[in-house]
Amino acid sequence: MNISISNNADTPIYKQIYDQISGQILRGELDSDETLPSIRAIALELRISVITIKKAWEELEKDGLIYTVLGKGCFIASVSAKKLQNKRDEFAQDKIKKDIKYYKELGLSRDELIRLVNDHFDEK
Amino acid sequence: MNISISNNADTPIYKQIYDQISGQILRGELDSDETLPSIRAIALELRISVITIKKAWEELEKDGLIYTVLGKGCFIASVSAKKLQNKRDEFAQDKIKKDIKYYKELGLSRDELIRLVNDHFDEK
Amino acid sequence: MNISISNNADTPIYKQIYDQISGQILRGELDSDETLPSIRAIALELRISVITIKKAWEELEKDGLIYTVLGKGCFIASVSAKKLQNKRDEFAQDKIKKDIKYYKELGLSRDELIRLVNDHFDEK
Amino acid sequence: MNISISNNADTPIYKQIYDQISGQILRGELDSDETLPSIRAIALELRISVITIKKAWEELEKDGLIYTVLGKGCFIASVSAKKLQNKRDEFAQDKIKKDIKYYKELGLSRDELIRLVNDHFDEK
DNA sequence: GTGGTCTAGACCACT
DNA sequence: GTGGTCTAGACCACA
């Protein structure tokens, strides 16, 4: 499980975890029914509170990406590749709408925005 | 002064105001040294507290977009067109980096992201 | 009457005027019973409100530095050189106490403070 | 945490708090990453509003003296001794320039000012 | 008239 | 528990 968190970012920690895990699932890097590490293990590893991870897990479960079996642990939900793709698209579209609104508020044209994407996509 | 706020959004009200005013300034829709409506006038119009607007004003002042003169009012900072453009770029680049990080996490390729931009740019 | 004001300073305008006029009187640059320019004349010259100057005049009168004759104007109070010196000392001591408190809070020693004075006294 | 405030002073409460905390940090009396008492705790102790303290905290954060972690608390920023010294000097120089301007306006000579400093430095 | 500060309570998000 | 935001009213300083 590769997760990196930052205390300085303006995104809350539980969201950082959620984004990274959901990303790994949506990209198909984690197999169905694979076991997620225990909350405590992650809490220790990342030196954060179990409550924070619990919050991330809850969001993932709400979105149908994982499921928990009481007393056994958390598992990756088995979702068909097609459904996965749909979820990915849904997530991306939800975000792009908000983002475009902001760039438009800044006065950027479509071409300027696309140039910006091209300029920064390969960075880092 | 066109400002619209939503109580349901997850962005705080002061941020909504900040975004809209900064947008108008950065797009050059407000002239230098133009007087902003008084805090109280806006508070009445939008039916929010003066403190909330004050907060937005403070952020705008911190970013050098407006300045306040005690007892006289608040004014658009006089910034050269070039500097304005720089600020706009700076704001846009700060955001695009974070956004791209997220889209990559979702597994989108550059082309998919650009198609997404093209599909939604003219909406609404 | 030489007065210069700044909108950007954090000292209010009426205080800037008060400080400069009181300074000129305390340094003996203005003779007793000399007429001060009319409030309106100054207001025009400095492009500020008459109310602001009125406020400064009130403070000066309260401190016994000027007196107003209704319908005739404002005049420099006739104060003996000795009294003038006393007032000057009083003003300076009031201020030095507050200032030293602040420098001490910053952790400056007496010698550091004196060096600071020496370094900056001849500037500008 | 030693803070004392006065309701009668002409400096706003948030400024009084800012001055005292920044003083303690600049004098090195508070260690890096030390936790500050919670906003609410201070509010209760000093019997003032949380917002007032928040305002002081924001100023301190703006000046890079503290940092806040959402949901965890506020901490003293880790600043090297050298940087601390620089900040102290910067604060002191900003003030001394204004102060000297005033004393000069009163007609004090350098020697008179230094005598004043010597006379009052050990008081109280 | 303007902005600057403050209160006393409230609700929410995050840990 | 923490900080983040907001309200509705108040009083003051400044122009």
Cα Rg, chain C, nearest whole Å: 17
Would you state the pLDDT for residue C29?
A: 87
Query: Between the CA of residue B64 and those of A51, B1, B12, what are the distances in Å?
Result: 40, 19, 21
Domain boundaries, chain D: 13-76, 81-120
Is C touching A (3+ C-beta pairs, cut-off 8 A)?
no
Mutation target to probe the C interface, by most C beta carbons within 10 A, among D86, D103, D111 is D103
Decide if A28 contacts A84 (C-beta within 8 A). Answer: yes
Would you state the pLDDT for residue D8?
A: 78
Quickly state the pLDDT bin for B33 (edges 50, 70, 90). confident
Please, what sign has the CA dihedral across residues C110, C115, C121, C123?
negative
Would you state the pLDDT for residue C71?
A: 85
Residue C75 pairs with which residues in a beta bridge?
A: C35, C67
Would you state the pLDDT for residue A8?
A: 79
Please identify among residues 22-41 of chain C the ones whose CB lies closer than 8 Å to any CB of chain D: 22-23, 26-28
Query: Cα distance from C7 to chain D (closest Cα, Å)?
Result: 15
**Six-digit token pair at B110?**
């550059």
Quickly state the pLDDT bin for B32 (edges 50, 70, 90). confident
pLDDT tens sequence across A2-54: 889 888 788 899 999 999 999 999 888 888 888 899 999 999 999 999 999 99
Would you state the pLDDT for residue D120?
A: 95
Residues in chain B within 8 Å Cβ distance of A84:
none
CATH for D13-76 is: 1.10.10.10
The spacing between the Cα labelled CA in B40 and the C1' in F13, in angstroms, equals 17
The four Cα atoms B71, B76, B79, B83 give a dihedral, to 10 degrees, of 130
Q: Please, which chains are in contact with C (at least 3 CB pairs closer than 8 A)?
A: D
| Nearest nucleotide to B14, CA against C1' atoms | F5
Cα Rg, chain B, nearest whole Å: 17
Would you state the pLDDT for residue A52?
A: 92
Would you state the pLDDT for residue D123?
A: 82
Q: What gap in Å lies between CA D112 and CA D114, rounded to an integer?
A: 5
Q: Give me the helix-helix angle, A13-26 and A81-105, nearest 10°.
A: 130
Mutation target to probe the D interface, by most D beta carbons within 10 A, among C84, C94, C105, C109 is C105
Q: Flag whether residue D63 sits within 8 Å of chain C, measured between CB atoms.
A: no
Residue of D nearest to C15 (CA): D102
pLDDT tens sequence across B100-119: 999 998 889 999 999 999 99
| Cβ within 8 Å, pair B23-A106 | yes
Would you state the pLDDT for residue D1?
A: 72
Quickly state the pLDDT bin for C79 (edges 50, 70, 90). confident
Is D101 a residue whose pLDDT tops 80?
A: yes
Is C119 a residue whose pLDDT tops 80?
A: yes
Dump the DSSP string for A70-120: TTTEEEE----HHHHHHHHHHHHHHHHHHHHHHHHHTT--HHHHHHHHHHH
Residues in chain A within 8 Å Cβ distance of B108:
88, 92
Would you state the pLDDT for residue C123?
A: 82
**Six-digit token pair at A101?**
């609104």
Q: Provide the mean pLDDT of chain B.
A: 91
**pLDDT (mean) for D36-65:** 92
**pLDDT (mean) for A112-116:** 95
Is C1 a residue whose pLDDT tops 80?
A: no
Would you state the pLDDT for residue D66?
A: 93
Nearest to A114 among B28, B117, B122 (CB): B117
* A60 burial type by CB count under 10 A (0-12 exposed, 13-18 middle, 19+ buried): buried
Would you state the pLDDT for residue C104?
A: 92
Would you state the pLDDT for residue A70?
A: 86
H-helix or E-strand containing C68? strand C66-69
**pLDDT (mean) for B90-103:** 92
Quickly state the pLDDT bin for C7 (edges 50, 70, 90). confident
B69-76 long-range contacts, CB within 8 A, separation 24+: B69/C7, B70/C12, B73/B35, B73/B36, B73/B38, B74/B35, B74/B36, B74/B38, B74/B39, B75/B33, B75/B34, B75/B35, B75/B36, B76/B25, B76/B30, B76/B31, B76/B32, B76/B33, B76/B34, B76/B36
**Six-digit token pair at C47?**
């492009």
Q: What gap in Å lies between CA B84 and CA B61, rounded to an integer?
A: 15
Would you state the pLDDT for residue D33?
A: 86
**pLDDT (mean) for D36-40:** 93
pLDDT tens sequence across C26-78: 888 888 888 899 999 999 999 999 999 999 999 999 988 999 998 888 999 98
Residues in chain B within 8 Å Cβ distance of A20:
105
Q: What gap in Å lies between CA C4 and CA B106, rounded to an integer?
A: 61
Would you state the pLDDT for residue D9?
A: 80
Q: Provide the mean pLDDT of chain A.
A: 90
E strand intervals along B61-118: 66-69, 73-76
Q: Which nucleotides of E are covered by protein (CB under 7 A)?
A: 1-10, 13-15
| Nearest nucleotide to A52, CA against C1' atoms | E15
Residue of C nearest to D97 (CA): C120
Residue C96 neighbours by CB distance under 10 Å: 20
Residues in chain D within 8 Å Cβ distance of C59:
none
The spacing between the Cα labelled CA in C62 and the C1' in E14, in angstroms, equals 55
The spacing between the Cα labelled CA in C95 and the C1' in E2, in angstroms, equals 29
Q: What is the DSSP letter of A37?
A: P
Is A1 a residue whose pLDDT tops 80?
A: no
Is C97 a residue whose pLDDT tops 80?
A: yes
Q: Provide the mean pLDDT of chain C.
A: 90
Is C9 a residue whose pLDDT tops 90?
A: no
Q: Which of D111, D109, D99 is nearest to C99 (CA)?
A: D99
Give the 3-state secondary structure of residue D67: strand
Would you state the pLDDT for residue C84?
A: 86
